[in-house]
Amino acid sequence: MLKKEEISTWFQGLQDSICEQLKAVDNSTIIQDLWERPEGGGGRSRVLNGRIIEKGGVNFSAVEGPLPDKIAAALKVDDAEFFATGVSIVLHPLNPHVPIIHMNVRYFELDSGIWWFGGGIDLTPHYIDKDQAAFFHQTLKDVCDKADKSFYPKFKTWADDYFYIRHRKETRGIGGIFFDRLGNNHHLSKDELWIFVQNVGETFAPLYLKLAQEKHELPFTEEHKNWQAMRRGRYVEFNLVWDKGTKFGLDTDGRTESILMSMPPVANWRYNYIPKPNSAEAATQALLKKGIDWATKANT
Amino acid sequence: MLKKEEISTWFQGLQDSICEQLKAVDNSTIIQDLWERPEGGGGRSRVLNGRIIEKGGVNFSAVEGPLPDKIAAALKVDDAEFFATGVSIVLHPLNPHVPIIHMNVRYFELDSGIWWFGGGIDLTPHYIDKDQAAFFHQTLKDVCDKADKSFYPKFKTWADDYFYIRHRKETRGIGGIFFDRLGNNHHLSKDELWIFVQNVGETFAPLYLKLAQEKHELPFTEEHKNWQAMRRGRYVEFNLVWDKGTKFGLDTDGRTESILMSMPPVANWRYNYIPKPNSAEAATQALLKKGIDWATKANT
């Protein structure tokens, strides 16, 4: 039976591996902070800055202890001991033609025997490139299909619904996959689910580096940077207003600097900004909606 | 008996008067948007940009209709018709030595006869100047004292508690006054409360212009601008994570662009930034806490 220590050790290795792969291309400076959680466990927060990544956070954590009241209430369980471990990443690139990416893989268990995996990868291009979008979604579909043919359609829709900025009536980007509570009652075994989660984790770095390398040397103007800063503003809005993980972390006295590593280096807000008709910005804006079949390029 | 139409008409005049006073000093360009709420009522949103104010929002609204379910649940009333009107302002100055300011005055009533006033003014200096802080608080104390000697201590503490960024364990700025639900059962009459609210509204423009004019010609460096952008990031965090009005508006399909006029033009986030010891930034950071008796300068 797969043990929690095996999972957290593997996640820690994933953090190392992703940092190495990113650094090899990005020539990143990486600052690491080790932190401990007073109630049990801790983590390794790493901030990257290089020639492609303006600000990136690659976090590993493995925390444990008595289940916080708010979670116990949400899960409808009485007092229990919990264990949670995962890797969480957001990369904000310097070049506006390179997309923002987010990845998370996580495992949660209670001492009562309840456990589940969760995670996902989603992409937020400042400028949507349909070829990159198709490649991105097809890659995620391939990873899903290897585990279960039902996964991609389900997790793709879940991402559309989750990464939705309700007050803007727009998606955060082109989505990707999102899944949660793959646990005890799943038709796949724990070992099978674990292989799927590992595959998601391992897909991240090569996938992003391919997308980034195709774009990061493209020239950009001040207008591109302004639009990037506005899209980053929307990223901030999503994360602070709607993202359950962020809200939960801030609400339960998580480590603020690690939680808010997802914040962009610079963001801006202009009142009621509407992109010029027929501009690249307007084209992207028009595609920030749910239900686009990105993997099948003809449908975008 | 004071009628709701009298209140909203006066608030609309206050918006005009504040815009005129700001424009006379700031030479602001003002863009106005009129908007209507499908369920009833509407507003006038105005965005200012001038030589002192980089981005300012001065909003008036008067909305009405069936009470939204979420408010009804929060107020524990069954279906009712509501009316709400107010003026809401956030000004982000260009010069980091000039503080950010926020003001709100509002009135709410239900057709069942329940009514109340709410509002406040609070100041967020990027660099705290104790003389300005003392003047700011003393001015608010004078306005409060005219209505009731108990108001300032109570509303000052309320502002300390309300404008608190819990996940940072710091206040948004130096506070000010905050009050809510001054209504039916108050020991002051409706007319007396209304005079108090009007006085708060009228205090705003001359108070801010005095503070701004003392500072806006001071030279500033890139370091000052960086710190300003970080403090603006904290402003974003407070408004999107903790501010009840913002959350409520976004949650109940309010007009997003009007609600988010409080967002700064540019904000930034640096991982785990700690000001240099003995710097002006560190001095300000050390003062971002509750319970400082700003009006009595000796106690700061």
How many residues appear in chain A? 300
Residues A59-63: what's their mean pLDDT? Answer: 96
Q: What is the pLDDT of residue A254?
A: 84
Whole-angstrom Cα distance, residue B230 to residue A47? 17
Which helix (DSSP H) or strand (DSSP E) does residue A71 occupy?
Answer: helix A69-75
* Contact at CB, B270 and A270, closer than 8 angstroms: no
Structure tokens at B195: 């005079």
Search chain B and give the residue with CA nearest A253: B167
Q: Please name each of the domains of chain B with its CATH number.
A: 4-299 (3.40.1500.10)
- CA-wise closest residue to B122 among B247, B9, B238: B238
Structure tokens given for A179: 């899944």
Does position B49 have pLDDT exceeding 90, yes or no? yes
Is A209's pLDDT higher than 80?
yes
Residue B10 and residue B79: Cα distance in Å, rounded? 28
A237 touches chain B (CB under 8 A): yes
Nearest of A124, A125, A98 to residue A209 by alpha carbon = A98
| High-pLDDT (> 90) share of chain B, % | 88
pLDDT at B73 over 90: no
pLDDT digits 0-9 by tens, A197-206 = 999 999 999 9
Q: Do B167 and A264 touch (CB under 8 A)?
A: no
Q: In chain A, pLDDT over 90 holds for what percent of residues?
A: 88
Q: What is the pTM of this model?
A: 0.95
Ranking A64-68, A127-131, A285-289 by mean pLDDT, the lowest is A64-68
Q: SS3 for A38? A: coil
Of A229, A256, A271, the CB nearest to B47: A271
Q: What is the mean pLDDT of residues A213-217?
A: 98
Per-residue confidence (pLDDT) for residue A291, from 0 to 100? 97
Closest CA to B42 of B57, B61, B58, B15: B61
Is residue B90 within 8 Å of B118, Cβ to Cβ? no
Whether B81 and chain A come into contact, CB under 8 Å, resolves to: no
Long-range contacts of A283-292 (CB under 8 A, 24+ apart): A283/A128, A284/A125, A284/A126, A284/A127, A284/A128, A285/A170, A287/A128, A287/A174, A288/A170, A288/A171, A288/A172, A288/A173, A289/A170, A289/A171, A290/A160, A290/A161, A290/A164, A290/A171, A290/A175, A291/A160, A292/A174
Interface contact flag, A263 B269, Cβ < 8 Å? yes
Question: Lowest mean pLDDT: which of A142-146, A249-253, A284-288?
Answer: A249-253
**Sign of the alpha-carbon torsion through B77, B89, B225, B282:** negative
pLDDT for A297 equals 74
Rounded to whole angstroms, how far apart are CA atoms B151 and B119? Answer: 13
Neighbours of A67 (CB within 10 A): 22
pLDDT over threshold 90, residue A164: yes
Convert A151-194 into a string of H (helix), E (strand) and C (coil).
HHHHHHHHHHHHCEEHHHCEECCCEEEEEEEEECCCCCCHHHHH
Minimum-distance CB partner of B240 among A168, A241, A264:
A241
Is residue B144 very low, low, confident or very high in pLDDT (cuts 50, 70, 90)?
very high
- Phi first, then psi: give them for residue B66, nearest 5 degrees: -65, 140
Would you give the end-to-end CA distance of chain B in angstroms? 43
Summarize the confidence of residues B261-271 as an average pLDDT: 96
Q: How confident is the model at residue B78 (pLDDT cuts 50, 70, 90)?
A: confident
Q: What is the pLDDT of residue B29?
A: 97
Q: What is the model's pLDDT at position B249? A: 85
Q: Which of A31, A229, A269 has the CB atom closest to B260's CB atom? A: A269
Alpha-carbon distance of B227 to B205, in angstroms, equals 26
Predicted confidence (pLDDT) per residue in A35-55, tens digit: 999 889 999 999 999 999 999
For A54, the enclosing helix (H) or strand (E) is strand A53-66
- Predicted confidence at residue A300, as pLDDT, reads 72
Dihedral angle of Cα B134, B137, B138, B142, to the nearest 10 degrees:
180
Q: Looking at A102, A137, A216, A224, which residue is catalytic? A: A102
**Residue B17: is its pLDDT beyond 90?**
yes
Model confidence at B284: pLDDT above 90: yes
Least confident of B33-42, B99-108, B209-218: B33-42
Say if residue B11's pLDDT is above 80.
Answer: yes
Token pair in block for residue B79: 């279906």
* pLDDT tens, residue by residue, A94-108: 999 999 999 999 999
Residues in chain A with CB shorter than 8 Å from the CB of B168 are: 256
Q: How far is B248 from chain A (nearest CA, A)?
A: 11
Flag whether pLDDT at B244 surpasses 80.
yes
State the average pLDDT for chain B: 95
Predicted pLDDT of residue B76: 87
Whether A213 and chain B come into contact, CB under 8 Å, resolves to no
Supply B81's token pair: 């018709």
ipTM (interface predicted TM): 0.93
CB distance A243 to A102 below 8 Å:
no
Provide the CB-side half-sphere exposure for B45 (13 A, CA). Answer: 21
Interface check A166 vs B, CB under 8 A = yes
Residue B247: its chain A contacts at CB < 8 A? 241
Residue A248's pLDDT is 80
**Distance (Å) of CA A83 to CA A104, A109, A111, A299, B170:** 17, 5, 8, 42, 30
For residue B175, the model assigns a pLDDT of 98
Q: Quick check: is B102 catalytic?
A: yes
Q: Do B265 and A264 touch (CB under 8 A)?
A: no
With CB atoms and an 8 Å threshold, state whether A168 touches B256. yes
